[in-house]
């Protein structure tokens, strides 16, 4: 089966959607499917390359940032990808299209189906689902909902990355929404207790530095932990970066808090290996890839009881769920987590146990069955 995969993110660019798309492409290729992944370029990244068995094409949209695209860049991706697929796609004849995000990727797939009859599935990632992050995205979703529904209606399948996302999407459509959770990264990340210091405890935050992820709450809650031997590493880029660094300086936490710009896969492995817990106090999430990675790497998790996070974190088993992402709630959970080193160790071990139950090869096989109309 020739599968065209559309996603404007691909590692090292973007966030969870790009990682999920790349893992899906990797495992579909391992199953013998021929995959063309059409994404976006940036900096000195190659325009085309073969990676993990699939063909990756990066289109020039004059992308400004690694961590995300603006509306103008997404519109240019829509135009550029459409032109590429009509004229210069190297003779690749897709039999199925898998679009990550409804807009613009799903719209490209919609127009391809109208012009050449290629069936398509949409992987719903959050912002394209009415009701997700409603306080921030309500206006966007209200304006674009008619177009989103048009693209969904014509799709041959809809895929959600968590039960939460599936239930949210189902409120807006009569079409079946297939729930296929993100896989755990057991092939790329491994727990190595010997790498974790016995004297110090390192806490980790990974993600876009944006309001949705609440990195400021992480920093404030951490600053209230005066216990010696505790450090925090914040990995990511975004509009809040300068503010966070200034906050750390004002709080006198510059020595205990490390900031790392967008990290590559190999660099991330080291950070996970040296850390004991990951903090995810997000406002809303579909299913955060960083938690899947953290489970495989043997980290405890402290996260908000929202979205798909409770599908990955069992309160009191491999971490703690907090009812809201306030400084008080996160700070209280951190104090409890750090009060018992043996309990923390057990949480880390339990995360590894959970990670083996559902892997990316399982998720990709389920996507394959959806594309084939087998589920």
Domain with 91 in it: what CATH number?
3.40.50.2000
Nearest to 1 by CA among 81, 90, 109, 92: 92
Instruction: Please state which of the ranges 48-57, 136-145, 183-192, 213-222 shows the lowest mean pLDDT.
Output: 136-145
What pLDDT is stored for residue 56 in this prediction? Answer: 98
C-alpha 219/C-alpha 240 separation (Å) is 12
pLDDT at 158 over 90: yes
In this prediction, residue 80 carries a pLDDT of: 97
Q: Determine the angle formed by the axes of helices 241-250 and 215-223, rounding to 10 degrees.
A: 10
Q: Is pLDDT of 135 > 80?
A: no
> What's the pLDDT at 343?
96
In-domain check, residue 14: yes
Same domain, 272 and 319: yes
Dihedral over alpha carbons 132, 133, 137, 143 (to 10 degrees): 20
**354 Cβ contact partners less than 8 Å away, ≥ 6 residues apart:** 184, 295, 312, 314, 318
Q: What domain range includes position 157?
A: 2-182+359-371
Residue 264 has pLDDT above 80, yes or no: no
- Mean predicted confidence (pLDDT) in 163-170: 96
Residue 56 counted as domain residue: yes
Q: Is residue 188 part of a domain?
A: no
Residues 6+ apart with CB under 8 A from 291: 278, 280, 301, 303, 309, 312, 313
330, 218 in Cβ contact below 8 A? yes
Q: Could you give the strand order of the β-sheet that contains 230-235, starting from the edge strand earlier in sequence? A: 257-260, 230-235, 201-206, 277-280, 300-304, 319-322
- Domain match, 51 and 33 both: yes
* pLDDT value, residue 68: 86
For position 136, what pLDDT does the model report?
76
Residue 356 above 80 pLDDT?
yes
Q: Are residues 166 and 205 in the same domain?
A: no
Which DSSP symbol is given to 311?
G
Q: Are residues 53 and 174 in the same domain?
A: yes
- Across the range 210-238, mean pLDDT stands at 95
pLDDT tens-place string over residues 181-201: 999 888 888 888 888 887 899
Q: How many domains does the chain have?
A: 2
Q: Is 256 exposed, middle or buried (0-12, 13-18, 19+ CB in 10 A)?
A: middle
Average pLDDT for residues 58-71, to the nearest whole number?
A: 93
Note whether residue 82 is domain-resident.
yes
Residue 187 inside a domain? The answer is no
Region 349-364: mean pLDDT is 93
**What tokens were used for 256?**
């205990």
Round the average pLDDT of the chain to a whole number and report it: 94
260 and 364 in a single domain? The answer is no
d(CA 340, CA 350): 15
pLDDT at residue 296 tops 90: yes
| Same structural domain, 208 and 351 | yes
- Please answer whether residues 313 and 290 qualify as being in contact, where contact means their C-beta atoms are separated by less than 8 angstroms: no
- Say yes or no: 24 and 151 in one domain: yes
> Is the peptide bond preceding residue 273 cis, with omega within 30 degrees of 0?
no
33: pLDDT confidence band, cut at 50, 70 and 90?
A: very high
**Token pair in block for residue 333:** 């959970």
| Contact between 291 and 340 (Cβ < 8 Å) | no
Does 250 lie in the same domain as 126?
no
In whole angstroms, give the CA distance from residue 357 to residue 312.
Answer: 11
Query: What gap in Å lies between CA 139 and CA 314, rounded to an integer?
Result: 34
Mean pLDDT calculated for residue range 231-235: 97
- Between 169 and 132, residue with greater pLDDT: 169
Look at residue 227 and tell me whether its pLDDT is greater than 80: yes
The mean per-residue pLDDT over the stretch 41-53 comes to 96
Average pLDDT over residues 17-26: 96
- Whole-number pLDDT of residue 100: 98
Per-residue pLDDT averaged across 51-77, rounded?
A: 95
Q: Mind giving me the DSSP string for 326-357?
A: -HHHHHHHHHHHHT-HHHHHHHHHHHHHHHTT
Specify burial of residue 89 (Cβ count, 10 A radius: 0-12, 13-18, 19+): middle
How much is the pLDDT for 140?
79
Both 173 and 321 in one domain: the answer is no
- The pLDDT of residue 242 is 95
- Which among 189, 339, 338, 215 has a CA at the least distance from the CA of 272? 189
pLDDT digits (tens, 9 = 90+) for 78-87: 999 999 999 8
Based on the domain organization, do 56 and 84 belong to the same domain?
yes
**Residue 173 shares a structural domain with residue 234:** no
Whether residues 115 and 27 share a domain: the answer is: yes
At a CB cut-off of 8 Å and minimum separation 6, what does 164 contact? Answer: 286, 287, 307, 308, 311
């Amino acid at each position: 089966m020739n599968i065209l995969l559309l996603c404007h993110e691909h590692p090292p660019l973007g966030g969870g959607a790009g990682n999920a798309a790349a893992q899906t492409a990797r495992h579909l290729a391992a199953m013998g499917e021929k995959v063309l992944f059409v994404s976006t370029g940036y900096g000195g990244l190659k325009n085309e390359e073969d990676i993990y068995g699939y063909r990756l094409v990066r289109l020039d949209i004059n992308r400004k940032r690694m961590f995300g695209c603006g509306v103008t860049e997404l519109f240019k991706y829509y135009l550029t990808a459409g032109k590429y697929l009509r004229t210069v796609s190297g003779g690749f004849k897709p039999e199925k299209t898998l679009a990550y995000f409804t807009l613009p990727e799903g719209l490209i797939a919609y127009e391809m189906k109208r012009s050449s009859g290629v069936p398509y599935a949409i992987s719903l990632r959050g912002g394209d689902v009415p009701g997700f992050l409603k306080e921030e995205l309500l206006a966007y979703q209200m304006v674009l909902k008619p177009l989103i529904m048009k693209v969904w209606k014509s799709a041959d399948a809809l895929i959600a990355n968590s039960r939460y996302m599936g239930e949210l999407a189902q409120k807006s459509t009569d079409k079946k929404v297939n729930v296929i959770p993100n896989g755990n990264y057991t092939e790329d990340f491994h727990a190595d207790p010997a790498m974790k210091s016995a004297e110090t405890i390192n806490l980790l935050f990974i993600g876009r530095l944006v309001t949705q992820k609440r990195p400021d709450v992480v920093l404030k809650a951490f600053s209230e932990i005066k216990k010696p031997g505790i450090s925090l590493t914040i990995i990511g880029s975004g509009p809040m970066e300068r503010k966070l660094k200034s906050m750390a300086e004002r709080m006198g936490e510059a020595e205990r808090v490390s900031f790392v710009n967008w990290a590559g896969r190999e660099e991330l492995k080291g950070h996970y290996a040296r850390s004991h817990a990951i903090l995810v106090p997000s406002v809303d999430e579909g299913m955060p890839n960083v938690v899947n990675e953290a489970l495989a790497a043997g980290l405890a998790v402290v996260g908000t009881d929202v979205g798909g996070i409770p599908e990955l974190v069992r309160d009191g088993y491999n971490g703690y769920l907090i009812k809201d992402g306030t400084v008080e709630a996160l700070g209280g959970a951190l104090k409890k987590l750090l009060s018992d080193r043996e309990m923390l160790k057990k949480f880390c071990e339990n995360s590894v146990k959970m990670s083996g139950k559902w892997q990316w090869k399982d998720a990709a096989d389920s996507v394959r069955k959806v594309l084939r109309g087998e589920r």
